[in-house]
Structure 1
Amino acid sequence: MKKESVGERIRSRRKNLKLTQQGVASGIGVSHVAVSQWEKDETLPRGENLLRLAELLQCTAAWIIDGEGEVFTTPSKVSDVSALPLITLTQAAAWMQEQRLLIQQQATRFLYSDSKLSESALAITLDDAAMQPDYRPGDTLIFDPAVAPQPGDVVLAHINSEVLVRIYRLMTEQHDEQIFSLRPLNEDFPVQTSSEKKIELIGTMMEMRRYRVR
């Protein structure tokens, strides 16, 4: 009897658990293309990706690679870690539109977070100096569209053709509409007001990461 390949074991286990390729990709923090390549035996999952795949598929890494070991029949606890797509500011401009799923599928870079985040959470890299000194160009920020901002929160917003990171300030309410401003920390940058410009709030900041430059 022909022994199953690595890809065949991954595919059969995924289907037994009623998971899609995109679901596996999101749970591990890789692109759905990577999962497809594994199932086609074009590449092999390795290192941390292999361990996360085994955890998600509720089996051992050894079983995935060589078919040895027993597949767990009792679901093991998958760690509450979200894989967030790290996207460009241009992609963030379309995040609240119908393109979000497509952007998630095309993402090739991810961040892991154990914070309680919605499925629409995203990560971007700050690229301007408007939020200095607290936030610097190169900092990675995680935003969640499902969290409504409170005064003083840092938000990601789409203003005209730009996506900006600013401080949210509620000014007043007019005819059941909230009028708010978005303020930079750096005084060299202008304040934006929703009464003067069309502003779409994309998400509220949940986490900031700063990586040491070598």
Structure 2
Amino acid sequence: MMKKESAGERIRSRRKALKLTQLVVASGIGVSHVAVSQWEKDETVPRGENLLRLAELLQCTAAWIIDGEGEVFTAPLNVSDVSALPLITLAQAAAWMQEQRLLIQQQAIRFLYSDSRLSESALAITLEDNAMQPDYRPGDTLIFDPAVNPQPGDVVLAQINGVAQVRIYRLMAEQHDEQIFSLRPLNDDFPAQTSSEKKIELIGTMMEMRRYRTR
């Protein structure tokens, strides 16, 4: 009787079939490469959010990883199109457009995987306040790209008087080659800000939102 593959063996074989290193998988999920190694050796089992992210990265179902059942997608993954985005704090995001960006990238300990077309300066943050409710909630993970110019109605990450905030962008006027714009929340309990009245620096335009289920 043929021995059934273990969960760790399936993870390892699928990772190798997609030509991914343990480091790329770890960065995409937001865990250490040691954790991936432990999964592949069947020392531990991926669970919860990590299992869902692993299934997404390996292009298969969570059920297939755990017990060999479910669908394994055959579409090839072009590793060159995979971006590992640093998941940073809003305090770090406030300094993202300054000279500290490379240092912040190097110091990041959590990453998100994305196969979207993003620039090298793209970043991810976790929303902390209620200003963007009901559409966006505290705990939502948002991906922003500084290389994409915002259009009216886009969600942007901006530094307002030194504090990084997520708001809706609206162009108001153009004066002497300078754009006057406002940033407004979705929650009326928070004030709108105007670039003519506040020191505002746009950090990036939102490209993706992720909401992970919690117990």
Q: Shared fold (TM-score greater than 0.5)?
A: yes
Conservation of the 8 A alpha-carbon contact between 2:82 and 2:113:
yes
Q: CA deviation at 1:46?
A: 1.4
Q: CA deviation at 1:77?
A: 5.2
Deviations 1:93-127 (A, max 9, x none): 11001111111011000100111000000000000
Aligned residue identity for 1:195: S
97-106 vs 77-86, which moves further: 77-86
Unaligned runs of at least 5 residues, structure 1 = 1-23, 36-42, 51-75
1:195–1:28 CA distance, 2 compared to 1 (3 A): same
**Structure 2 residue 143 is the aligned partner of structure 1 residue 145:** no
Other-structure match for 1:60: none
Q: CA deviation at 1:45?
A: 6.4
Aligned residue identity for 1:87: I
- Give the whole-Å Cα distance in 1 for the aligned partners of 2:162 and 2:173: 25
Aligned residue identity for 1:190: P
Q: CA deviation at 1:79?
A: 5.1
Query: Across the two proteins, how many residue pairs are aligned to each other?
Result: 156
Q: CA deviation at 1:29?
A: 1.9
Conservation of the 8 A alpha-carbon contact between 1:27 and 1:83:
no
SS in 2 for 1:203: strand
Other-structure match for 2:126: 125
- Give the whole-Å Cα distance in 2 for the aligned partners of 1:164 and 1:49: 39
Aligned residue identity for 2:180: I
Q: Computing the radius of gyration over CA atoms, which structure comes out larger, 1 or 2?
A: 1
Other-structure match for 1:170: 171
Conservation of the 8 A alpha-carbon contact between 1:28 and 1:49:
no
Q: CA deviation at 1:161?
A: 2.6
Conservation of the 8 A alpha-carbon contact between 1:28 and 1:83:
no
Unaligned runs of at least 5 residues, structure 2 = 1-21, 42-76
Percent of matched pairs sharing the same residue: 78
- Give the whole-Å Cα distance in 2 for the aligned partners of 1:49 and 1:104: 28
Deviations 1:109-156 (A, max 9, x none): 010011100000000000000000000001000000000000000000
Q: Displaced runs of 4+ in structure 1, greater than 3 A?
A: 24-28, 47-50
Other-structure match for 2:97: 96
**Structure 2 residue 37 is the aligned partner of structure 1 residue 46:** yes
Compute the TM-score of the two structures, normalised by the length of structure 1. 0.67
SS in 1 for 2:128: coil
Other-structure match for 1:212: 213
